[in-house]
Amino acid sequence: MYREAVEEYLKSEEIGGATKEDLAMRRRAFLKAGLRGLLQEELKLDIADSKHGYVPAFDFAQLYARLGDKDRAFENLEKTYKEAGHSIAFLKVEPELDNLRSDPRFTDLLRRVGLPQ
Q: What local confidence, expressed as pLDDT, does residue 101 receive?
A: 96
Name 34's Cβ contacts closer than 8 Å, sequence gap at least 6. 2
Q: What local confidence, expressed as pLDDT, does residue 55 receive?
A: 95
Q: What local confidence, expressed as pLDDT, does residue 117 receive?
A: 78
Give burial (CB, 10 Å; 0-12/13-18/19+) of 2.
Answer: exposed
Cβ atoms of 65 and 100 within 8 Å: the answer is yes
pLDDT tens track, the chain, 117 positions: 888 999 999 999 999 999 999 999 999 999 999 999 999 999 999 999 999 999 999 999 999 999 999 999 999 999 999 998 899 999 999 999 999 999 999 999 999 999 887
Q: What local confidence, expressed as pLDDT, does residue 72 receive?
A: 98
Whole-angstrom Cα distance, residue 84 to residue 72?
18
